[in-house]
Amino acid sequence: MGLLVVGSLALDTVSTPFDKVEDALGGSATYISLAASYFTGPVNLVGIVGSDFPKNYIKMLEEHNIDLEGLKIVEGGKTFRWAGKYHYDLNVRDTLSTDLNVFEKFDPIIPESARKSKYICLGNIDPVLQSKVLDQMDDPQFVVCDTMNYWIEGKKKELMELLPRVSVLIINDSEARLLAHEPNLIKASRKIRDFGPEILIIKKGEHGALLFTEDIIFSAPAYPMEMINDPTGAGDSFAGGFIGHLYSNRDLSPNCLKAAVIYGSTMASFCVERFSTKGLEELSLFRIKDRFREFMNLSRFDES
């Protein structure tokens, strides 16, 4: 039994002040699975694409020990497409188009071989579908869930029903304030954890990430990047590194959770260096651990 990842696969057209790519590989499940694949294998991916999904993308995923038994290919259908434009402040982007195509009728069916998976990462999809995934599972041990303001505003009831079934919720700072109706992130974290998740991670983009448990508030730094080419997928890469490290160690202790946050930030930093998934495709565990140590040194000091 491997790690189970459920989410979207997409063909992205992304433009930044530095360059542009068309029909590049994207989607939450894609980034999560690639980031996690360096820590464990196989990663079981469940998603949906059309027959226009390039074969070389499928080959690349399989070469990273990503099991695609749960990938549905709809003959004659078109893959989910998204187009966006980033500004010089790469925290600001405009969505130019969203064509759900076959993803509009995505009905996640978990293969029998993956239903006993104990570690699950639910990418940013409709909370109704996230719940449907959990309904098919046989006693999952650790569930990581991502969501966004679209679902918080449009499917609040369904999201609130899901949260008690989730071990970790990963959201950004604006989503945390929206979900909790609380501007202060410390107070917001308490409210959100009362909704169900024992662990909350609040991403703060270029300012790092915060980890909240009953006993811990941990602040992880962001990696000082000289060049960010494409922020798309950074949050999903964070989630993949986070759950990948925890799954590989089968350890949910406070120190391992902290290390997992740093590994998540590490994978996000590789992701943004290149367009699409290119920054995640040719890594090694040695390079990942080397950057992990660089993260550690960012905040380490001698008290004397």
Distance CA 46, CA 286 (A): 28
Give the DSSP H or E segment for 6: strand 3-6
Burial of 178 (0-12, 13-18, 19+ CB in 10 A): middle
Q: Is 47 left (phi over 0), alpha (psi -120 to 50) or beta?
A: beta
Q: pLDDT band for position 35 (50/70/90)?
A: very high
- pTM here is 0.96
Q: What is the pLDDT of residues 147-163, one digit of tens each?
A: 999 999 999 999 999 99
Domain extents for the chain? 3-299
Q: What is the pLDDT of residues 192-203, one digit of tens each?
A: 999 999 999 999
Number of other CB atoms surrounding residue 88 within 10 Å: 8
Q: What one-character-per-residue DSSP string does 39-105 give?
A: TSS-EEEEEEEETTS-HHHHHHHHHTTEEEEEEEEETT----EEEEEE-SSTT-EEEEEEE-GGGGG
Position 289, amino acid: K
Query: Cα angle vertex 209, ends 173, 164, to 5°?
Result: 65
pLDDT of amino acid 141: 95
Mean pLDDT in the chain?
Answer: 94
pLDDT of amino acid 1: 66
Q: What is the pLDDT of residues 45-73, one digit of tens each?
A: 999 999 999 999 999 999 999 999 999 99
Q: pLDDT band for position 207 (50/70/90)?
A: confident
Q: Is the peptide bond before 42 cis (omega within 30 degrees of 0)?
A: yes
* Average pLDDT for 277-292: 96
Q: What is the pLDDT of residues 6-29, one digit of tens each?
A: 999 999 999 998 889 999 999 999
Number of other CB atoms surrounding residue 276 within 10 Å: 23
Of 237, 238, 236, give the one whose Cα is nearest residue 210. 238
Per CATH, is 3-299 categorized as 3.10.20.30?
Answer: no
pLDDT of amino acid 87: 86
**Alpha carbon 18 to chain centroid, angstroms:** 25
pLDDT of amino acid 88: 80
Please say if the pLDDT value at position 296 is more than 90: no
pLDDT of amino acid 222: 85
Position 26, amino acid: G
* Average pLDDT for 273-292: 96
Contact 235, 268 (CB under 8 A): yes
pLDDT of amino acid 93: 84
* Average pLDDT for 165-172: 97
Q: What one-character-per-residue DSSP string does 94-153 give?
A: EEEEEE-GGGGG------GGGTT-SEEEE-SS-HHHHHHHHHTSSS-SEEEEE--HHHHH
Considering the chain, what percentage of its residues have pLDDT values greater than 70? 99
Q: What is the pLDDT of residues 78-114, one digit of tens each?
A: 999 999 999 887 777 889 999 999 999 999 999 999 9
Cβ contacts of 250-254, under 8 Å, gap ≥ 24: 252/142, 254/213, 254/215, 254/216
Distances (CA, A) of 285 to 182, 266, 292: 39, 11, 10
* Average pLDDT for 124-132: 97
Contact 252, 47 (CB under 8 A): no
Please say if the pLDDT value at position 290 is more than 90: yes
Q: What is the pLDDT of residues 250-259, one digit of tens each?
A: 999 999 999 9
pLDDT of amino acid 301: 72
Please say if the pLDDT value at position 304 is more than 80: no
Distance CA 27, CA 48 (A): 11
Give the pairing type, strands 3-6 and 199-203: unpaired
Distance CA 25, CA 126 (A): 21
